[in-house]
DNA sequence: CTGTTAGCGCCTTCAT
DNA sequence: ATGAAGGCGCTAACAG
């Protein structure tokens, strides 16, 4: 650590440390030419303020924590892009934490973020998070936190979500209008609000079309894609199913795989629609009819809300919540059958 | 900030700050029962040491920086997973920075990481990085840095890479053996070593099969997928091409799109092979024959090398570099034509 | 305009 | 076995 710090600059310039500090922060109480001299040397020596010292002193880190279930997934990848973009623009740094859908991990992460390491948190809760004491804890410590997509229903906090009920309704309606009568609904975890809301939309659509709800057509997936594919195959074999609505991307893909494995033709025997942001899904044959969430925008919006709160030292209130619209994307098949 | 800190604990326990500090670090010079008392209260008050104070004092942050071109890409997503996994295991935190393939951003990031914010860096260089002064700067400041996948050829540093020449060779050979004679090679940037090495493998394979190299069949892509698809379409329209070898995932996908747009049948008119880690590529019809990099493992390995160096205070030497093997994955088409 | 001083919270000698 | 003191590098209040 040959570290060039304020002391070093001060020595070389025959100035006091605080004068140098002020000069670099462009304080009005420092002579213009002095500022120039200071800045010149700082540039020459490539001075960079020590962020830890600065954070310690100012009680803020200019860093946020992003807590998400996973990243190997187009939705969260895009979200990170949005967040990083805004963070960079506002001079914030981004720490990333993956829960792998594990409630214990999420709690542990929350625990050690509650010590000043970050000024705020952006979070999409893990699917198993039924117990949210750890989140309440963060709230108590006054750490601003913005939930996005997978929110914690039990807490009154800022949320950036999409119109889950509505898009669930539309997706189901889409299948119904395409002639489906036995539509399966696939979700990832019963504890997740998005799964619930989308399902409510699904149920409402069924009801509006006078189709009876059948609990046998609801499948709750798990971690392993392999396992999920099995579950879906089992469903297709034991139940009469002519449509599948997958409430997350992975399940939509597993549905495709399951149909393929069973030699079911996809638009013919079973129609599939799923939440997905995968560009490549449009190249499938038939292309995956998808509900596409504005992932990048969600990341940006969530980050913006957090940063303005942080920079203006304003508290976050649930009223700042935002609901963005997901889009139903249907593409024509180029099937040559 | 009602922050519970050492002082607070010390007061409540009628101990000195240093005693508490030592107790929490399980020092042998503190009585066992005292330690117990301290730990009990710490747990009760949910004490977490202030990381900035600690970093400042110890001159290390237990944080690493990950600098990558982008994240909306299956390769880097998987890498992040691997890194986060190892980081968490070793008690490190992960800051993430995206260059968006922009050399200026990369330099700026390097600049402000060179101040103690991170103990080390994992990096995949931006495609435009012809000039690497900023990387040399980090080297000079003794910030350990491990390059992975996209390395900086001009510096003697630790690298975690894949067998690019070899896999380039194999991919090309695969197409040649499938009967291709006019194989296009798509790369993302001339400045990138991976693009070069894979191309060398491509050229060697051509030579070994006595196929002349044709510079017209080399296409260098850019940022926009849209633009790349156009370039490829143009290539397909102006040149006789019966095979495409895409050296990055995005270009493989764009190739698919281009063929579709031109109504070229994919195994028939043009065979495509590409570097890709997308699971869903197996569902395309025909499935994308892919060179799959061990992305997750690369992230883990790179992180491991960095952490052991950091924790043992050992310098990184180029000799610790690692070359992992990519796998050629061919799947049978289920085409019903 | 510039300098002095006093911490931020933690860790580490050194003394008791 | 415990405590006192100094300092990591920076900032902010207050003097001069």
Contact B337 A336 (CB under 8 A): yes
Contact A253 B55 (CB under 8 A): no
Instruction: Choose between B35 and B1: higher pLDDT.
Output: B35
A90/chain B closest Cα distance in angstroms: 14
Residue B140: pLDDT band (50, 70, 90) is confident
> Distance between CA atoms of A281 and A275, rounded to whole angstroms?
11
Residue B1: pLDDT band (50, 70, 90) is very low
CB count in 10 Å sphere of residue B40:
11
> Distance between CA atoms of A140 and A316, rounded to whole angstroms?
13
Please report the pLDDT score of residue A1 as a whole number: 44
Q: How far is CA A108 from the centre of its chain?
A: 19
Contact B46 A253 (CB under 8 A): no
Residue B98: pLDDT band (50, 70, 90) is very high
Report yes or no: A92 and A64 within 8 Å, Cβ to Cβ.
Answer: yes
Domains of chain B: 6-57 (1.10.260), 61-162+295-324 (3.40.50.2300), 164-293+327-334 (3.40.50.2300)
Please report the pLDDT score of residue A334 as a whole number: 62
In angstroms, how far is D15 C1' from A31 CA? Answer: 18
Please report the pLDDT score of residue B2 as a whole number: 55
B6 touches strand C (CB under 7 A): yes
Give the mean pLDDT of B223-240: 94
Report yes or no: A51 and A95 within 8 Å, Cβ to Cβ.
Answer: no
Please report the pLDDT score of residue B7 as a whole number: 93
Residue A296 has pLDDT above 60, yes or no: yes
> Distance between CA atoms of A240 and A183, rounded to whole angstroms?
9
Q: Residues with Cβ < 8 Å from B20, sequence gap 6 or more?
A: B6, B9, B10, B13, B38
Q: Which neighbouring-strand residues pair with A158?
A: A146
The tally of CA atoms less than 13 A away on the side-chain side of residue B84 is 23
Report yes or no: B94 and A93 within 8 Å, Cβ to Cβ.
Answer: no
Residue B334: pLDDT band (50, 70, 90) is low
Alpha carbon separation from A332 to A257, A264, A287, B51, B257 (Å, rounded): 20, 19, 7, 54, 14
Residue A17, nucleotide of least CA–C1' distance: C3
pLDDT digits (tens, 9 = 90+) for A79-90: 999 999 999 999
A25 touches strand D (CB under 7 A): yes
Show which positions of strand C are touched by protein (CB under 7 A).
Answer: 1-5, 7-13
Write a three-state SS string for chain A: CCCCCHHHHHHHHCCCHHHHHHHHCCCCCCCHHHHHHHHHHHHHCCCCCCHHHHHHHHCCCCEEEEEECCCCCHHHHHHHHHHHHHHHHCCCEEEEEECCCCHHHHHHHHHHHCCCCCCEEEECCCCCCCCCHHHHHHHHCCCCEEEECCCCCCCCCEEEEECHHHHHHHHHHHHHHCCCCCEEEEECCCCCHHHHHHHHHHHHHHHHCCCCCCHHHEEECCCCHHHHHHHHHHHHHHCCCCEEEECCHHHHHHHHHHHHHCCCCCCCCCEEEEECCCHHHHHCCCCCEEEECCHHHHHHHHHHHHHHHHHCCCCCCHHHCEEECCEEECCCCCCCC
Residue B131: pLDDT band (50, 70, 90) is confident
Q: Residues with Cβ < 8 Å from B112, sequence gap 6 or more?
A: A48
**C11 C1': nearest CA residue:** B57
Residue B29, nucleotide of least CA–C1' distance: D1
B55 touches strand D (CB under 7 A): no
B176 touches strand C (CB under 7 A): no
Contact A84 B61 (CB under 8 A): no
> Distance between CA atoms of A224 and A59, rounded to whole angstroms?
42
Q: Residues with Cβ < 8 Å from A12, sequence gap 6 or more?
A: A41
Give the mean pLDDT of A61-80: 94
B111 Ramachandran zone, left/alpha/beta (phi>0; psi -120 to 50) = alpha
Predicted TM-score (pTM) of the model is 0.94
Q: How far is CA A205 from the centre of its chain?
A: 27
Please report the pLDDT score of residue B336 as a whole number: 41
Q: Which neighbouring-strand residues pair with A97?
A: A67
Give the mean pLDDT of B235-239: 96
| Chain B residues 197-256 with CB within 8 Å of chain A | 225, 253, 256
Q: How many CB pairs below 8 Å do chains A and B form together?
A: 142
Please report the pLDDT score of residue A336 as a whole number: 41
Q: Which neighbouring-strand residues pair with B292?
A: B327
B28 touches strand C (CB under 7 A): no
Rg (CA), chain B: 25
Q: What is the residue-averaged pLDDT of chain B?
A: 93
pLDDT digits (tens, 9 = 90+) for A108-154: 999 989 889 999 999 999 877 678 889 988 888 889 999 999 998 88
- Contacts of residue A293 in chain B, CB cutoff 8 Å? none
Of all residues in chain B, the percent with pLDDT exceeding 70 is 98
How does DSSP assign B262-285, residue by residue? TT--TTTT-EEEEE---GGGGGSS
Please report the pLDDT score of residue B17 as a whole number: 93
Give helix B225-238 / helix B249-261 axis angle, nearest 10°: 60
Bond before B200 cis per omega within 30 degrees? no
Residue B321 has pLDDT above 50, yes or no: yes
Residue A185 has pLDDT above 80, yes or no: yes
Strand C contact residues in chain B (50-89), C-beta within 7 Å:
50, 53-54, 56-58
Give the mean pLDDT of A20-41: 90
A54 touches strand C (CB under 7 A): no
Bond before B133 cis per omega within 30 degrees? no
Q: What is the dihedral of CA B203, B204, B207, B208, to 10 degrees?
A: -150
Residue B337 has pLDDT above 80, yes or no: no
Nearest residue of chain B to residue A256 (CA atoms): B283
Asked if A283 reaches chain B (Cβ–Cβ under 8 Å), the answer is yes
Give the mean pLDDT of B188-199: 91
> Distance between CA atoms of B248 and B251, rounded to whole angstroms?
6
B59 touches strand D (CB under 7 A): yes
Closest CA to A70 of A120, A110, A106: A106
> Distance between CA atoms of A147 and A295, rounded to whole angstroms?
13
Residue A285: pLDDT band (50, 70, 90) is confident
Of all residues in chain A, the percent with pLDDT exceeding 90 is 80
Task: Go through A275-291 and write b for each residue having 16 or more CB atoms within 10 A of its CB, e for each that does not.
Answer: bbbbebbbbbbbbbbbb
Report yes or no: A288 and A281 within 8 Å, Cβ to Cβ.
Answer: yes
CB count in 10 Å sphere of residue B178:
14
Residue A44: pLDDT band (50, 70, 90) is very high
Rg (CA), chain A: 25
Please report the pLDDT score of residue B133 as a whole number: 87
Show which positions of strand D are touched by protein (CB under 7 A).
Answer: 1-5, 7-13
Residue A337: pLDDT band (50, 70, 90) is very low
Q: How many residues does chain B have?
A: 337
Of all residues in chain B, the percent with pLDDT exceeding 90 is 81
pLDDT digits (tens, 9 = 90+) for B194-230: 999 999 999 999 999 999 999 999 999 988 999 999 9
Asked if A102 reaches chain B (Cβ–Cβ under 8 Å), the answer is no
- Cβ-based burial of A264 (10 A; exposed 0-12, middle 13-18, buried ≥19): middle
pLDDT digits (tens, 9 = 90+) for A188-207: 988 888 999 999 999 999 99
Residue B164: pLDDT band (50, 70, 90) is very high
A18 touches strand D (CB under 7 A): yes
Q: Which neighbouring-strand residues pair with B273?
A: B245, B289
Asked if B55 reaches chain A (Cβ–Cβ under 8 Å), the answer is yes
B22/chain A closest Cα distance in angstroms: 19
**Nearest CB to B77: which of A48, A71, A336?**
A71
In angstroms, how far is C10 C1' from B60 CA? Answer: 13
Nearest residue of chain B to residue A276 (CA atoms): B280
In angstroms, how far is C2 C1' from A78 CA? Answer: 50
Asked if A89 reaches chain B (Cβ–Cβ under 8 Å), the answer is no
Residue A255 has pLDDT above 80, yes or no: yes
Backbone angles phi, psi at A66, to 5 degrees: -115, 120
Please report the pLDDT score of residue B129 as a whole number: 65
């Amino acid at each position: 650590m040959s570290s060039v710090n304020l002391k070093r600059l001060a020595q070389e310039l025959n100035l006091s440390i605080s004068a140098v500090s002020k000069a670099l922060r462009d304080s009005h109480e420092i002579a213009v030419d002095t500022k120039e001299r200071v800045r010149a040397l700082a540039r020459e020596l490539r001075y960079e303020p020590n962020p830890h010292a600065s954070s310690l002193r100012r009680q803020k880190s200019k860093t946020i924590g992003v807590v998400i279930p996973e990243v190997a997934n187009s939705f969260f990848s895009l979200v990170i892009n949005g967040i990083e973009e805004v963070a960079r623009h506002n001079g914030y740094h981004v720490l990333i934490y993956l829960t792998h859908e594990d409630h214990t991990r999420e709690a542990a992460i929350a625990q050690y973020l509650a010590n000043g390491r970050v000024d705020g948190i952006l979070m999409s809760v893990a699917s198993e998070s039924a117990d949210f004491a750890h989140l309440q804890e963060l709230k108590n410590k006054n750490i601003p936190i913005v939930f996005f997509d997978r929110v914690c229903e039990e807490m009154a906090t800022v949320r950036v979500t999409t119109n889950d009920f509505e898009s669930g309704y539309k997706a189901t309606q889409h299948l119904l209008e395409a002639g489906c009568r036995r539509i399966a609904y696939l979700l990832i975890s019963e504890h997740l609000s998005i799964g619930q809301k989308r399902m409510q939309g699904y149920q409402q659509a069924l009801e509006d079309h006078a189709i009876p709800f059948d609990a046998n057509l609801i499948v709750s997936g798990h971690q392993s894609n392999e396992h999920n594919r099995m579950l879906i195959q089992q469903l297709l074999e034991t139940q009469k199913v002519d449509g599948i609505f997958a409430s997350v991307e992975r399940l939509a893909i597993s549905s495709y795989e399951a149909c393929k494995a069973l030699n079911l033709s996809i638009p013919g025997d079973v129609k599939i629609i799923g939440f997905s942001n995968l560009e490549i899904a449009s190249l499938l044959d038939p292309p995956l009819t998808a509900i596409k969430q504005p992932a990048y925008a969600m990341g940006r919006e969530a980050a913006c809300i957090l940063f303005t709160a942080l920079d203006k030292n304003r508290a976050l209130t649930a009223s700042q919540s935002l609901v963005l619209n997901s889009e139903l994307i249907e593409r024509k098949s180029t099937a040559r059958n």
